Structure 1
C-alpha cells in the first residue's frame, strides 16, 4: 500500500510537471508571424535627355578647295598648289532633345561659327593663291541612343558657309567671294556631366560643291572636315 501511494504521488507530480511544461509551449493557432523585412526602394539613376540646351563649341577644321577649269589651268601654268586651308573656329549652338522610353533620342541642332580657316600658297616668284572660310553653320537632325549619361549620335542636315579665294599670277588677280549652301553629316558623343551641364565631342563633314562666281569668271567650292568639342547648359 505504501508502495502504491508512493507511485501515485510520483505520477501526480510527473503530470503536474508535464502540465507546466505544456503551458510554456506556444499554441499553433497563436503563433505570431515572423517579422518580414521590407527592402527599401532603390532610387532610380536613369538619365532623362529630354529638354533644350544652349552652349558653345570650338575646334579645328580643314577645307579641301575645288576650283573650276580657269583656276585649275592657272595653277598648272604658274605652277601653284590649290589652296587647301586649315585653321580654328568657334561659335554657339542651340539643341533640342527628346528621349523615348526605349532610350532612343531624337533631336535638332543649330550651330553657328566664326572661323579662321585659310591658307596662302606661293611658288617663289610672287605668284600666290589663297582661300578662306570665315564663317559657317549647320541645321541638323540628330538620332542617338542613350546609355545613361552618354549619348552617341549621328546627324545630317543643311550647311552654310562664306568662302573667298584669290589667285595672283604675273600681277593679274582673279578673286571671288560667295555664300554657299550644301549638306552636312556628322557623329559624336554627348555627355551629361550633371543634370544641367552637357559636354560633347564630334566630327562634322560638309560638302558645298562648286558654284559659279561672276566676279571670278569661274566656279569654286570646297569640302569641310571639322573636329570639335562643346559645352552647354541644359534646361
Structure 2
C-alpha cells in the first residue's frame, strides 16, 4: 500500500511539472520614457562674444561729404538673460522669446592729425519669434528673428585745445536674425548654441567744433551659448 501511495504522489508531481512547463512565459516589457514636449514657458541665462563692422563717414555740417571715411571693428564679450514660450505641433515648434545682453563692445582709433575716435555699445535687447523642428526627440533646430534695441555711444576728440570734444549717445531700433540648436539635458533643463546678426541702420551726429557731421552704419554678429529651465 505504501509503495502504491508513493508511486501515485510521484506521478502527480510529474504531471504538475509538465503542465507548468507548457504555460506561456510572460515577457517583461522595458520601461520607455514618454516623448519630450517642448511646449511651455522657460527662462535662462546666456553669454558669448560679439564683433561688428562699422564705418564713420564725415560730411560738412549740413552739406556734402568731405571725403574722409574710416572703418572700425568693435568687439567684446557679453552676458544676459532670456525668457520665452514654445508650442509644439508634432515635429514643428513655434515660439516667442525676449532677451537682454550686457557687455561692452568697442573699438578705438587715432588719426595722425591729432584726432581720436571711440565707439561702443554697452547693451542690446531683442524680442523675436522662433521657428524650429525636432529631428529627434530631445533636439530642437531653429531659426529666429525680430526687433532689436540698443544705445550706441560715439566720442570724438582732438589734441587742439580750442576744439571741444563731442559725445553722442544714440538709442536705436533695428532688426536681428539668427539660427541655433537646443538640446534637452533633462526633462526641464536645456542647453543651446546660437548665432545672431543685428543691424541698426544708419546713425548721424554733428560735431559743431569742426563743422562736421559723422555717419555710421553699425552691424553686429555674435555667437552665444545658454542654459534654460522649463516650467
Out of 152-161 and 117-126, give the one that drifted further.
Answer: 117-126
From the superposition, tell whether residues 214 and 125 of structure 1 become closer, same or farther in structure 2 (CA, over 3 Å).
closer
Q: Which residue in the other structure is 1:190 paired with?
A: 182
Q: Distance in 2 between matches of 1:150 and 1:144?
A: 10
Q: Note the 1:86-235 alignment, pairs <5 A.
A: 86-101=75-90, 103-123=91-111, 126-146=114-134, 147-171=136-160, 172=163, 173-213=165-205, 217-235=213-231
1:32-75 deviation line (CA, Å, top 9, x unaligned): x9637466375244211111111111111012123344297475
Distance 1:74 1:120 in 2: 20
Structure with greater Cα Rg: 1
Cα pair distance change 1:193/1:73, threshold 3 Å = farther
**Equivalents in 2 of 1:100, 1:185: separation in Å?**
23
CA distance in 1, matches of 2:193, 2:230: 16
Could you say which residue in structure 2 is the equivalent of 1:58?
Answer: 47
Unpaired runs of 5+ residues, structure 1, are 1-32
Q: CA RMSD in A?
A: 2.7
Q: Deviations over 1:157-184 (max 9, x none)?
A: 0011111112234533343111101111
Higher share in helix: 1
Aligned partners of 1:221, 1:122: CA distance in 2, in Å?
19
The runs of 4+ residues in structure 1 deviating greater than 6 Å are none
Q: Tell me what 1:48 maps to.
A: 37
CA distance in 2, matches of 1:49, 1:186: 20
TM-score by length of 2: 0.76
CA spacing shift, 1:212–1:120, aligned 2, 3 Å:
closer
The whole-number CA distance in structure 1 between the counterparts of 2:153 and 2:223 is 22
Unaligned runs of 5+ in 2: 1-21
Q: Which has the higher strand share?
A: 2
Alpha-carbon distance in structure 1 between the residues aligned to 2:112 and 2:228: 46
Q: Who is 2:9 aligned against?
A: none
